[in-house]
Structure 1
Amino acid sequence: MSLTQFLTDLDLVLFNKLVPSIEFGIGEFPEPTHAVNIQVNVFQCGGIVLGICNTHTLHDGTALEVFLKDWAAAARGSGGGGGSSGVAARDFMVAAELFPANDLWLSDSSKIMFNSMPSEPEERVQAKNPTRVGAVTGLLWKCAMAVLERKKNGLRRPSVFTHVVNIRKRMNPPLSSPLGNFLWLAAAHYKDTTKSHDGTEDVLPSLIGELRRAISKVDGEFLSGLRQDISLISSSLEKVLGVGLSEKGHGVDHFVCSSWCNFRFYDIDFGWGRHVWVSTAGLCEPMFFNLIFLVDTTSGNGIEAWVIMDEQEMALLQEDPELCAFANVNPSPLTISSKL
């Protein structure tokens, strides 16, 4: 099989064989564990696919971008850093110094999330000039809510949308170190169950506004508080995660989104030129549902969204008229345009 044939009709089962390991579990990794596992796949045509699996215990997407840029620069013979400052030895210690490792985790999260939902709908924030990531996540949230509403015969439940946030630039002062796992979770709530998806009233601006407000709360003051009182990390996570990623309980639908947009993975050059496609993997047998991963398209002005839902719900989502008006569903990586 050539690389072109593989990308023309993408097989997710085969796709996941291109990465060395797939770990979506929460908890400790088996010993010994490498910081990054890399698998080089060579097709009959000579095309190459690099499968990379890293652990969030040590680094996040920003750190992975820096590692790949330095690796590619070394492969081209231009030295580490590719024109940037490179990775200094001290960078490996910054994360541990700011947020020391601890065993804090969730205790009774389902009860806390249910209680943390506003008892009365707050004044809605209407989004103005949303970012492209904000617009896409808001649209996906709205369409996913509509799918669950149709599945439940018109019953709309309260909804929580959790977005992964890179906190480096949000700290005071901003953090310059690229390495580590500097992420937080921002949770947006939507409790108004009276508005239907029948098109009589558009909830999209409200959803985008709620997402923006939730993310804006992850600011320098909040992050300084976490550093000063380490116990706040556990209690804050409990409020954010709430009903849990693995179940839909207590009448609340939960969605989680992680964005790789603006990471500039397509600018990484190992000496062979621009990549044909950059994407996530490990999506065939997920531990959790209602997960969304966002990645830039090759053009740089579009977004590729990987959505993991229950099979029946996914079938409904793929037929949602509003989603189909803005997005191509399951396109070949070779034909992805600037459309969502």
Structure 2
Amino acid sequence: MEIEIISKETIKPSSPTPQNLRIYQMSFFDQMMTNIHVPNLFFYLNKSNCIDQQDIAAKTQRIKESLSELLTHFYPLAGRFKDNAVIECNDAGAEFTEARVNGFLSDLLEKPDLDSLLPFIPYELKPSKDLTIPLLYVQVIVFKCGSLALAISTSHKFADGRTASNFFKCWSAIARGCMDESMLPRYVACSINIPSMDPSTALPPVDLDFAPNCVTRRFIFEESKIAELKTRVASTIVPKPSRVEAIAALFWKCASAASRKNLGLPTRPSAMAQAVDIRKKVSPPLPETSVGNLFAPIVVSTEEGELDLPRLAIQIRKAFGFSLHGEENAFSKILDAGKEYSKISSNDDIDFYLCSSWCWMSFYDLDFGWGKPIWFTIPSVRAKNSVALNETSSGKALEAIITLSAEDMAELESNEEFLEFVSINPSIA
């Protein structure tokens, strides 16, 4: 689908940021993040049988006006990085693009092609050391049928998944006129007793492997198959595995098997990492609306060759279910986890996998007043050996976006145990 850019403009906060809020001190966790923009794509179906250009213009205007008001609360997103420690909240604004595509949303939903979604992203998906670029990019794409796509890319140096989720919730609430004070962002990350890095510290290197020969595929775990998988994964230690634990264990086992087969190795060490939200794991707990990168990169590894699903689930539960309550130095524990992540992820003798879960973020609630999205997805990030999990619109099935080398993907797609539980890229109803 060819995309034509119609207009570009800068959206600034509807009221100036107060002088006392003009300097935003990033937390240690923010400073350690690579400057990469994370894209999110929302698709809205035109339920009318006709195309109303005035209605489309009104929807676009509502998105822009509500964004302008939203930026008064998420004011750092309208600023620019001064260095690796400070955001100047100077109201420079977010970049907003209007575009149209010469295709129909129904065609895209019939057999979603993740590669075809890359032009929908308003900012290219790669790490950058340019501190002058906007922290937020928004693009509205209009289909020939009058349906809309909304692409939002936020800087990961400012926002983790929870922050992005709260940002979207506030945005849609403002658009519908039902904003609640409890939704507003809380800037408390720097109140945690964690030292800041030196402002002159260079941006850390990207920790994701953007291999050019990787392929990305979309898989669906239906509710009934998830129930079967959870039964297969269950043990006396983990009698009721979560959906994410069960799918992560299956992915880890099957992806590792594919790697070993292609390498011709009977055994090979492997590890899996997941970003774990620490807001409720520190003492006292932080509000869910706390802004920033408040997560720990937890790694679990195994030396085994043939991996066993129940044992993998046990390891995942023990590693990712950690608590920092009562820890005298929670920061040291998180820092140690980061060092372990860096050590293992850079070891070429270990198969290293990334699992990210967006299941609890309610992205399907992004309703601007004309209904909820028919599809939300994370476009192909090309991060090798990764799986990103998200709920479908029903909230019962899970979508898995998996990226592997072309050779490993071919093996995964022929793995009988994996195919027992998934549907390969079905249409979106």
Q: CA deviation at 1:12?
A: 2.6
Deviations 1:38-96 (A, max 9, x none): 11111111111110111121111111111111111111223x33xx61315xx23x112
Query: CA 1:162 to 1:180, structure 2 compared with 1: closer, same or farther past 3 Å?
Result: same
Asked if residue 262 in structure 1 is aligned to residue 360 in structure 2, the reply is yes
Q: Which residue of 2 aligns with 1:291?
A: 386
Number of paired residues?
Answer: 294
Listed as ranges, the gaps of 5+ residues in structure 2 are 1-102, 208-234
Aligned residue among 304, 308, 326 for 1:192: 304
Write the deviation string for residues 264-295 of structure 1: whole angstroms up to 9, x where unpaired: 11122111112100110143xx2x41111111
Of the three residues 237, 242, 247, the one matched with 2:338 is 237
TM-score by length of 2: 0.63
Would you say the 8 A contact 2:111–2:425 is kept in 1? no
RMSD: 2.5
Does 2:139 align with 1:39?
yes
CA contact (8 A) 1:126 1:208 kept: no
Structure 1 CA distance, aligned partners of 2:106 and 2:238? 41
Instruction: Please give the per-residue CA displacement for 1:103-125, whole angstroms capped at 9, x wherever unaligned.
Output: 68989x9xxxxxxxxxxxxxx99
Q: Distance in 1 between matches of 2:126 and 2:386?
A: 12
Superposed, which structure 2 residues align to 1:1-340 within 5 Å?
A: 1-25=103-127, 29-78=129-178, 80-81=179-180, 85-88=182-185, 91-92=186-187, 94-98=188-192, 99-102=194-197, 126-178=237-289, 179-193=291-305, 196=306, 203-222=308-327, 225-227=329-331, 233-244=334-345, 249=348, 251-283=349-381, 286=382, 288-332=383-427, 334-335=428-429
State the identity %.
Answer: 29
Supply the distance in 2 between the matched residues of 1:24 and 1:165 (Cα, whole angstroms). Answer: 23
**Inter-partner Cα distance in structure 2 for 1:32 and 1:306:** 31
Point out the more displaced range, 163-172 or 9-18: 9-18
How far residue 101 of structure 1 moved from its aligned partner, in angstroms, is 3.8
Q: In the TM superposition, what is the alpha-carbon distance from 1:225 to its structure 2 partner?
A: 1.4
Q: CA deviation at 1:233?
A: 5.0
> Structure 2: how far apart are the matches of 1:174 and 1:52?
29
Contact kept, 8 Å, 1:73 with 1:270, in 2: the verdict is yes
Distance, in Å, in 2 between the alignment partners of 1:10 and 1:192 is 36
Contact 1:75 1:271 in 2 (8 A): yes
Distance 1:55 1:125 in 2: 42
In 2, Cα distance between the equivalents of 1:213 and 1:233? 16
Deviation at 1:310, TM superposition (A): 0.5
- Is the CA contact (8 Å cut-off) linking 2:122 and 2:138 kept in structure 1? yes
Equivalent pair of 2:296/2:337 in contact (CA under 8 Å): no
Residues 127, 206 of structure 1: 8 Å contact kept: no
Question: How far apart are 1:158 and its partner, in Å?
Answer: 1.2
Change (3 A) 1:219 1:133: same
Which stretches in structure 1 are left out of the alignment for 5+ residues? 110-123, 198-202, 336-340
TM-score, normalization: structure 1? 0.79
3-state secondary structure, aligned to 2:165: helix
Choose between structure 1 and 2: higher strand proportion. Answer: 2
Aligned-residue offset at 1:29: 4.4
